[in-house]
Structure 1
Amino acid sequence: MNRGCLSPASRIRIAADVHRHSTSDDDSGCVLEEYSWVPSGIKPDMVHMYFACLPEDKIPYVNSVGEKWRTRQLQYQLPPQDSDPRYCGKLSAEEETELTHFEAERKKDCLGRGVIKQLPYDSKRRHCHQVCQKKTFCQHNDIYMR
């Protein structure tokens, strides 16, 4: 059965299974200790539902292949030489100023964070096949990302 067609009760069970089968050996129950990163602004049960939508090798459990994958993705998307002159070799004073200005503008205009919200249950399966524009909603497995 497809995750997009599951009832809310089934999705909660999936989230509970993800938690039960975690690779974390800390039984504190704190969701922040199980993962190396969690989306900001959502409750712990929603964190489990969010990660249940990802392939197992992309879930950022602490010390897992998913954590390493996320680190590689961040380094690819935000390479250090794009924000820190120390990683650029020899730059002139003018080039350092330009890099500093570029980094400030990028942080201001381009480094927003997505917002995760749960969709109301809908028995119809829908897919988004469009590239999302800034401040628009995209649907993926019954979770909105803005």
Structure 2
Amino acid sequence: MSLPPFQRVLDTHAADVHRFLVAAVGPVDADDCFQETFLSALRAYPRLRPDSDLRAWVLTIAHRKALDHHRARTRRPVPASGTLPEAAAPPPAAARDDTLWDRVHGLPAKQRAAVLLRFAADLSHREVGTVLGCSEAAARRSAHEGLKKLRQEHRA
């Protein structure tokens, strides 16, 4: 069995990857992370084993690009003038439930990734475990703990 042409991988998984990245990094930065994800995937594609789970593989790359994006945001320099640059306009309220996503983004990294992969990318717990490099049970537990924390915050 050989790998399908890369364009087919892109066409098949683009919507899932973009949906995950919008949930993970926000709509403003999702397109950049999407491009970085598929450029990295294209570079690595010739070395991929033919029996690989392509969806989990490309979502693993997207997850790592989202982590890189969050790390890079914490390392951005502060302007010397003491004034901050203007922020990009927020997305329309209908496009995003800010309170929920802010709470999701406030979860610990593993719980946040498990919740996003499970519900934004619609992966099974087994696939979430593959992407996160842990067992299915650990992925299930991380998603459960993340949802539990979100419910507790909602009640408070």
Structure with the bigger percentage of strand: 1
Q: Sort the TM-score into its range (normalised by shorter chain).
A: under 0.3
Structure with the bigger percentage of helix: 2
Please give the TM-score of this superposition, normalised by the length of structure 1.
0.26
Greater radius of gyration (CA):
1
Please give the TM-score of this superposition, normalised by the length of structure 2.
0.24
